[in-house]
Amino acid sequence: MKVKQIRGAGQQLTKINMKVCLLFITLFTLTACYEDTDVILHQSGVYKGKIDRHTQTPEQRQALLAKRFGQVQTDR
Amino acid sequence: MARMKFLCDEERCIECNACVTACKNEHEVPWGVNRRRVVTMDDGEPGEKSISVACMHCSDAPCQAVCPVDCFYTTNDGVVLHDKDMCIGCGYCLYACPFGAPQYPQEGAFGARGKMDKCTFCAGGPEEDHSHEELEKYGRNRLAEGKLPLCAEMCSTKSLLAGDGDMVSDLFRNRVIRREGEANTWGWATAYKD
């Protein structure tokens, strides 16, 4: 009797393990089906990429580069 | 507002290719991609001339006009840049560019054409200034550091000039006056040789 009970419990455990495994496999497979819904709608002639934000203002940048030009691009 | 421009003085260029090497080294440009190169006309013959060529950051850029996904933009200081996340690597810009500036690295197991790469005037890209993403995708952002493109800065003969177009043309005009010659030694009639 006892041997039969142990066998029955073992089979039940195997069934539960199989179900858990199947559930994990299904979840893992479905993760590959994820689609990013943040779609960029194209509009002809309009740039819709990332905005290039500079750390300096255009005036600061211009002044810095003009100074640099005087330092490194002078004739010899 | 300043408009950044390159100018190569063919009278001074000695075809040392240091600008090419500096660019590759500064931006860790992948194998097979040259953002800048030196072109020599009448190579080996007396009177040969060389010029260093890269993206000229056109005011009305043809690459920008033909891009099917409009991934190009022009910065306040006239530098033509692009967003690599939007680029589809179609190659239209290469057909449109008169200087052959757009380059395509080989990607994937079969060496498929990757996203376009070109000279950024050392201005990085649309990613945050000095970020790791910017460095990895576009190279160093020297303009944000208050520096000019390295190719021009380290040119030993000061043949390659880079900076505000007005300042560059003033410098070049003075050179031409000192030389007592014409600005274009080839002459307009021979700008395009057979």
> How confident is the model over A40-74, as pLDDT tens digits?
788 888 999 899 888 888 889 999 999 999 999 88
Chain A residues whose beta carbon lies within 8 Å of the beta carbon of residue B164: 62, 65-66, 69
The widest CA-to-CA distance across chain B, in whole angstroms, is: 57
Contact B130/A at CB under 8 A: yes
Q: CA B125, CA B102: separation in Å to the nearest integer?
A: 15
With CB atoms and an 8 Å threshold, state whether A75 touches B77: no
pLDDT > 80? residue A30 = no
Chain B residues whose beta carbon lies within 8 Å of the beta carbon of residue A47: 70-73, 83
With CB atoms and an 8 Å threshold, state whether A49 touches B161: no
With CB atoms and an 8 Å threshold, state whether B153 touches A69: no
The predicted pLDDT at position B108 comes to 79
Mean per-residue pLDDT over chain A, rounded: 83
β-partners of residue B107 are B112
Closest approach of A37 to chain B, Cα-based (Å) = 15
Q: Distance from CA of residue B40 to its chain's centroid?
A: 16
Closest CA to B19 of B163, B130, B162: B162
Q: CA A12, CA B80: separation in Å to the nearest integer?
A: 67
The predicted pLDDT at position B186 comes to 54
Q: What is the mean pLDDT of residues B88-97?
A: 94
Q: CATH code for B4-188?
A: 3.30.70.20
β-partners of residue B82 are B72
Q: What share of chain B is helix, strand, coil (3-state, %, to 5)?
A: 25, 20, 55
Read off the DSSP letter of residue B103: B
For A46, how many CA atoms within 13 A lie in the half-sphere containing its CB?
6
Contact B66/A at CB under 8 A: no
With a threshold of 0.95, tell me whether the complex ipTM lies above it.
Answer: no
Q: Where are the domains of chain B?
A: 4-188
- Reading the block at residue B169, the tokens are 């043309």
Work out the burial of residue A23: count CB atoms within 10 Å of its CB; fewer than 13 is exposed, 13-18 middle, 19 or more buried.
Answer: exposed
Contact B48/A at CB under 8 A: no
Place of tokens 């600008």: B19
Percent of chain A beyond pLDDT 90? 24
- Reading the block at residue B118, the tokens are 């070109």
pLDDT > 60? residue B66 = yes
Note the residue count of chain B. Answer: 194
The predicted pLDDT at position A15 comes to 84
Pick A65's closest partner by Cβ from B82, B146, B161: B146
Pick B171's closest partner by Cβ from A40, A62, A75: A75
In the structure, what pLDDT confidence band is assigned to residue B188 with cuts at 50, 70 and 90? low
β-partners of residue B103 are B117
The 10s digit of each residue's pLDDT in B123-140 is 999 999 999 999 999 999
pLDDT > 80? residue A6 = no
With CB atoms and an 8 Å threshold, state whether A49 touches B83: yes
Q: What is the mean pLDDT of residues B52-59?
A: 95
pTM of the model: 0.80
Q: Distance from CA of residue B47 to its chain's centroid?
A: 25
- Reading the block at residue B180, the tokens are 């007592």
3-state secondary structure of A63: helix
The predicted pLDDT at position A1 comes to 62
The predicted pLDDT at position B23 comes to 96
How big is chain B by its Cα radius of gyration, in Å?
Answer: 17
Work out the burial of residue B138: count CB atoms within 10 Å of its CB; fewer than 13 is exposed, 13-18 middle, 19 or more buried.
Answer: buried
The bridge status of strand B49-53 relative to strand B72-74 is unpaired
Note the residue count of chain A. Answer: 76
In the structure, what pLDDT confidence band is assigned to residue B190 with cuts at 50, 70 and 90? low
The predicted pLDDT at position B178 comes to 84
